[in-house]
Every structure is written in structure tokens, then in C-alpha cells.
Amino acid sequence: MSRKRANDAYTPRPEHHFTFGLWTVGNPGRDPFGEPVRAPIAPTRIVEKLAELGAYGVNLHDNDLVPRDASTAERDRIVRAFKAALKASGMKVPMATTNLFSDPVFRDGAFTSNDARVRRFALQKTMAAMDLGVELGAETYVFWGGREGVETNAAKDLRAALGWFRDSLNFLCDYARSQHYSLKFALEAKPNEPRGDIFLPTTGHMLAFIYTLDHPEMVGLNPEVAHEQMAGLDFSHGVAQALEAGKLFHIDLNGQKPGRFDQDLRFGSDDPRAAFFLVKLLEDAEWPGMRHFDSHAYRTEDEAGVWDFALGSMRTYLILKHKAEQFRRDPEIQQLLEALRKRADAAPVAFTKERARALKAERFDLPALRAQGYAYERLDQLTTELLLGVR
């Protein structure tokens, strides 16, 4: 099961801040049409193995670590052993979250179930999971509402459901505050699957929702590549909006072809170009967050393939990061960008009556503006050649 690993410029190290979910490398390869193909891997072994590969930390749902029906004693024993493994390996748990989707009790959703008892149970489960996350040192708490949705709009009052969702998040923000937890909440959107349609289906809808909460300052986004690309949207655009709004609190890196089931492919393996523009955006912004991979190995793989997958995810990020640096130094590319920057050099645009009057009277050389090209084909071709490694 051990394979020769390259030790080169793209070898991951803890300072790169790569993290994986326990559920990602631990994914047993079950899918809607087939049984598991891999044995479960113990969380402690995952920690050791990822440390060996150069990761910084692991993230988890409550039930990734502690089984649903564990007694308090079992829970404590499991947590103790897990902390020991973390300590031994130097790995961290920067993020935690709640599993609000596997248990049949959540078949109609958790915070938006039509059954108020289910909604309360979801709050209870989340508070316990937050306690666990904090105990493990997590600073970010993710909410993915995979079952908050409908198959038919006849079944749910859409506006009431949004209200229930908001009430729950407000409650949990207050809970975190009352406990003096230094947690930030990161909300994760997805358009569909497993529900027919999931509420707040994109990074945009979710970000808009945050502004309506009681404590918007402690709530941001956890955008996921696959979830935005399922809707055919450019992921970088959503991330740029989150960054610009100061709301990029976490990120889920993986791969996905548009318009199909949730694939959770190895980062960069579906569309290296989109992955490049994403890495470039994060690195240009010097974004300080974790580079978290929410993906899993193909179902064709045995355990050795799982570690190939994990290593490959990190290597591809580093390769693309290197290319982003190269882009910033490429003279032909920078010459084209400089020409664009010159055109962009604008007078201030804050409104005054005088400025409005002047602007109304301004004469533009429209024939020239209509005729000018922007040289984006050339710029894009140079980028393509850089990406393909022939510059």
C-alpha cells in the first residue's frame, strides 16, 4: 500500500494549511446504486496518515467521530483517543459541523422540517456538536443544510421555512455567545441532492440570507466548488463576492462537472482551468483560511487509492499556486494587463450634483470606443499556455 512519493516543489507541508474531512478520506465508496467497497478507516489512523502526507488538520461532523447512539462514557473514550492522536501527530481540528442528514429523523429536513419536534432535536444535536467541536479546538462551525428543502412546493410554506431556518441560526449564534465560544459560523449552500430543491441554493442566496440574521457579523460562508458548479455557475465569481463582502470564512475544495449529481472529485481533476482561477483569486487576496478538501476517492479505489487521492489534491493546489505566481511575473501577460489598467484609471465616482451635471454634458468619442478591442483572446491564450506549462 505504500507508494513512492515525489519530494519536490509541490510536496505539501503543514504551513500550507491543507485540511480534510474525516468523512472524505473515510468515505467507504457507497453510492445510490452500490454497496461500500472499502472498509471504514479509524479516525485515529486518518489523522496519522494525513499528517504523514503533509496535511495541517482534519475536520469532522459529530457522528464522523462519535457514533449516533454512543453512551457518554464511549463518547469520552473516543474523544480522548482522538485527541491523543492529534497531539501525537501535531494535527489540528480547525472546523467542525453537525450531521443533520443521515438519520431518518431528518427525512424532511432539520431546521426546516415541517415537524417542530424535529427542528428542536436538530437544535439539541447541534448544540452538543458545537460543544464537541470547541472541545477539539475548532474555530469555524459549518452549517450545510442538505435536507432543508422539498420535492414538491405543495409541501412547505417557503417563507415560513426560511423563517424557521433563521430562528435556528439566531438561536445557535446566541448559544455560542452565551457559552463564550469563539466560533464563527460558515454557511454552505447547495442547489439540490439529496432533496429535489434545497433552500438558499447558491452562495449568493446564502450570503443574502446572512444579512437578515441577528448577528450577521459572526456568520459567513463556506462555499463549495462542486455545489456552485452543479448549477453551472462560475465558482470564482461567488468566492470573489464573498471575499469582497468580508464573508469568506471557510472553503470546500473539490471538483464537479456542471449539471449532474454531486461528484466530489479530487480538486483540479475535472477542470484545471477553473481551479487555477480559484487558486489565483485566493492567493492574490492572501486569504488566510484553511484549504479544506471536501471530496473523496473514486469508488474504483482501494485504500492506497484513497491516499493517492489525498496527496494529489494537495499537490494540484500547490502546482496551481505556483502558476498563479508565474502569472504575476509573466512579462507578456503583465503588459496586456497593464494596458487594461490604464484604461481603467478613472476619476472618482462618488456622487455630487456637480459631477452629475458634468457627466451629463461629457462628450465621448463613441466611434473609437465602439471599435476598440480588448485583446482578451491573446491574454487568455497566454494564460492557457502558462497553465499547460509551455511558457
Strands 197-198 and 149-150: antiparallel
Q: How far is the CB of 106 from a second copy (least distance, A)?
A: 7
Catalytic entry in 62, 64, 264, 271? 64
**C-alpha cell recorded at residue 237:** 465569481
**Minimum CB–partner distance for residue 55 and a second copy (Å):** 16
Q: Give the other-Cβ count within 10 Å of 342's Cβ.
A: 8
Q: Say how many Å lie between the first and final Cα of the chain, rounded.
A: 36
Q: How far is the CB of 252 from a second copy (least distance, A)?
A: 15
Question: How many other CB atoms sit within 10 Å of the CB of residue 66?
Answer: 21
Give the orientation angle of helix 303-329 with respect to helix 331-344, to 10 degrees.
60
Q: Is 54 left (phi over 0), alpha (psi -120 to 50) or beta?
A: left
Bridge partners, 19 (sequence order): 57, 292
Q: Helix, strand, or coil here: 250?
A: coil
Residue closer to a second copy (CB basis): 52 or 197: 197
d(CA 135, CA 253): 25
Residue number with CB closer to a second copy (90 or 232) = 232
Non-local CB neighbours of 116 within 8 Å, separated by 6+ positions: none
* Alpha helices by DSSP H, 90-215: 116-135, 158-178, 203-210
Catalytic residue flag (residue 16): no
Give helix then strand counts, H and E, for the chain: 15, 10
Nearer residue to a second copy within complex by CB, 78 or 192: 192
Nearer to a second copy (CB atom), residue 74 or residue 374: 374
CA distances from 350 to 347, 354, 358 (A): 9, 11, 13
Shortest reach from residue 341's CB to a second copy, in Å: 8
**Residue with smaller CB distance to a second copy, 15 or 345:** 345
Give the separation between CA 151 and CA 145, rounded to whole angstroms.
15
Q: Find the catalytic residue in 61, 227, 292, 296.
A: 61
CB of residue 90 to a second copy, shortest distance in Å: 26
Kindly tell me which of 86 and 122 has the beta carbon lying closer to a second copy.
122
- Least distance in angstroms from the C-beta of 31 to a second copy: 5
Helix, strand, coil shares, percent, the chain, to 5 = 50, 10, 40
Nearest distance, CB of residue 72 and a second copy, angstroms: 13
By beta-carbon proximity to a second copy, the closer residue of 190 and 250 is 190
Backbone angles phi, psi at 194, to 5 degrees: -80, -20
Catalytic annotation present for 64: yes
CA distance 58 to 20: 5
Which residues have a catalytic role annotated? 61, 64
